[in-house]
């Protein structure tokens, strides 16, 4: 059997997975290059809302499987980050404001009527994965956040120039996530480096991270089919045909 990688090499291999992050997906590149139509931006915001509201449910499932109070005390902050607290706007509320800034009402977002089947399947696969695996594997699956600060930064710097019709106030979600993602990923990475010790474990961790990268990538594939190629099934397609 192969020797385990030293921690720094294991971490390097996890970080190397960034080449498969959805920042490189053509839909994301279009968005970043200012090539998206209003409908394509709106479609992304509508579909990503399903991810946003599923994240706290995913984290509640991890907590439900975790017997360690120290980990739970730290992890529960992720739910509060999204749901908010007295005097503190949460991520879900910030995403609703993003919706309004791009011309999508709160009711439309909450209705989930325009969530594409492929997006729903991908997000549900993530929540169900976390529900059924040991909590340490669930923690590892959050590590795509290693690569998230860069993508949030890109939006904060690029969108005001490319999409002046979007009220800049609406971008506060991305600002908020910059610091939260950095903190979360430190915790998630420490847990992962400590738990996955044998070479087989470490390879399993890389597979888990790849699964999560695939979730994010697949969401954008579904959006590409609907909003770039106008391929059914998507919201309104009956009327369009
Ligand atoms: O906008 C993005 O590209 C992006 C990516 C990710 C990610 O990498 O999973 C998350 C988020 N945003 C995000 O806002 C967020 O709250 C979040 C939580 C998690 C997670 O897996 O627990 N990922 C992400």
How many angstroms does the Cα of residue 193 sit away from the middle of ligand 1?
A: 20
* CA 155 to centroid of chain Cα atoms: 14
CB atoms within 10 A of CB 6: 9
For ligand 1, atom 24: residue with the closest CA = 145
Give me the pLDDT at residue 239, please. Answer: 65
Which two three-digit tokens encode residue 5? 């990688």
pLDDT in tens, the chain (241 residues): 799 999 999 999 999 999 999 999 999 999 999 999 999 999 999 999 999 999 999 999 999 999 999 999 999 999 999 999 999 999 999 999 999 999 999 999 999 999 999 999 999 999 999 999 999 999 999 999 999 999 999 999 999 999 999 999 999 999 999 888 888 999 999 999 999 999 999 999 999 999 999 999 999 999 999 999 998 877 777 765 5
The residue whose two tokens read 């399947």 is 121
Q: Which residues line ligand 1 (CB under 6 A)?
A: 55, 91, 142, 144-145, 148, 151, 177, 216
For ligand 1, atom 14: residue with the closest CA = 177
C-alpha distance from residue 66 to each of 74, 185, 193, 215 (Å)? 12, 18, 17, 23
Give me the pLDDT at residue 1, please. Answer: 74
Pocket test of ligand 1: the residue of 17, 21, 148 to mutate, having most ligand atoms within 8 Å of its CB, is 148
Give me the pLDDT at residue 173, please. Answer: 95
Q: Which residues pair with 88 in a beta bridge?
A: 85
State how far the Cα of 103 lies from the Cα of 105, in Å rounded to an integer.
6
pTM: 0.96
Give me the pLDDT at residue 240, please. Answer: 52
Q: Is ipTM strictly over 0.90?
A: yes
């Amino acid at each position: 059997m192969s020797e385990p990688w030293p921690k720094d090499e294991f971490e390097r291999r996890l970080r190397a997975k960034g080449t498969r992050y959805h920042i490189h997906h053509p839909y994301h590149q279009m968005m970043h290059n200012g090539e998206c139509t209003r409908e394509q931006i709106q479609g992304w915001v509508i579909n990503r809302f399903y991810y946003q509201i599923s994240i706290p449910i995913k984290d509640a499932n991890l907590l439900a499987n975790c017997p360690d109070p120290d980990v739970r005390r730290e992890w529960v902050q992720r739910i509060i980050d999204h749901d908010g607290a007295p005097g503190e706007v949460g991520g879900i509320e910030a995403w609703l404001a993003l919706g309004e800034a791009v011309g999508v009402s709160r009711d439309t977002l909450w209705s989930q009527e325009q969530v594409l089947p492929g997006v729903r399947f991908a997000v549900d696969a993530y929540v169900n994965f976390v529900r059924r695996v040991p909590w340490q594997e669930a923690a590892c699956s959050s590590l795509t956040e290693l690569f998230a600060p860069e993508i949030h930064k890109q939006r904060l710097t690029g969108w005001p120039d490319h999409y002046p019709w979007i009220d800049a106030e609406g971008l506060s979600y991305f600002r908020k996530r910059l610091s939260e993602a950095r903190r979360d990923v430190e915790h998630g990475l420490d847990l992962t480096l400590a738990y996955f010790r044998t070479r087989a474990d470490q390879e399993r961790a890389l597979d888990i991270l790849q699964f999560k990268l695939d979730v994010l990538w697949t969401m954008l594939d579904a959006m590409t089919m609907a909003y770039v190629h106008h391929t059914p099934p998507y919201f309104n397609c009956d009327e369009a045909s």
